[in-house]
Amino acid sequence: MDFIEWDDSLSVKVNEIDDQHKQLIRLINELYKAKKEGRDKNFLLPILDELINYSFVHFTTEEKYFIRFRYPETEKHQRAHSGFVDKVTDFKEAYYDGSATLSDDLLEFLKDWLINHIKGEDRKYIDFFQKKGLK
Ligand SMILES: [Fe+2]
């Protein structure tokens, strides 16, 4: 069983965004698996990098729709996105220079943040996007 399993309760009813969420889950699962297998930093850092880069790509996709459709909660949602990118980037730098280790807490944070974000902030745009005809 994977660390995070995707199921329909995570769907935001937009295929493109669901696919991106699945990709983020895949990367967190990959990081979890690599840590569990005792892989070293040279193996873990590129996965972490990919997770940060892909988060950025994904958040940009959501924000592009917020702007296009004038989503009323754009600013609050964008702040949540940039808070996440900042936090994970800070961690990556600390991990890179040896002042932090990739702990179970960090993996739990990634998992909880993503699930709570999808089921909280993201869920709020489902009806709004559907009314705009996005699928
Ligand atoms: Fe989001």
CA of 37 to the centre of ligand 1 (A): 30
CA of 40 to the centre of ligand 1 (A): 31
49, 89 Cβ separation under 8 angstroms: no
118, 10 Cβ separation under 8 angstroms: yes
Tell me the pLDDT of the chain (135 aa) as tens digits. Answer: 899 999 999 999 999 999 999 999 999 999 999 999 999 999 999 999 999 999 999 999 999 999 999 999 999 999 999 999 999 999 999 999 999 999 999 999 999 999 999 999 999 999 999 999 998
Other residues' Cβ atoms within 10 Å of the Cβ of residue 73? 13
100 contact partners, CB below 8 Å, separation of at least 6: 91, 94
Residue 1 lies in a domain: no
CA of 46 to the centre of ligand 1 (A): 23
Residue 126 lies in a domain: yes
Q: What is the pTM of this model?
A: 0.96
Q: What is the CA angle 94-97-103, rounded to 5?
A: 50
Domain of 95 in residue numbering reads as 8-131
CA of 5 to the centre of ligand 1 (A): 18
Residue 2 lies in a domain: no
CA of 77 to the centre of ligand 1 (A): 6
User: For the chain, how many structural domains are there in total?
Assistant: 1
Residue 3 lies in a domain: no
CA of 59 to the centre of ligand 1 (A): 6
CA of 38 to the centre of ligand 1 (A): 31
Written as six digits, the tokens of 80 are 């949540």
CA of 48 to the centre of ligand 1 (A): 19
How many whole angstroms separate alpha carbon 85 and alpha carbon 52?
7
Which CATH number belongs to the domain containing residue 103 in this structure?
1.20.120.50
Work out the burial of residue 118: count CB atoms within 10 Å of its CB; fewer than 13 is exposed, 13-18 middle, 19 or more buried.
buried
60, 53 Cβ separation under 8 angstroms: no
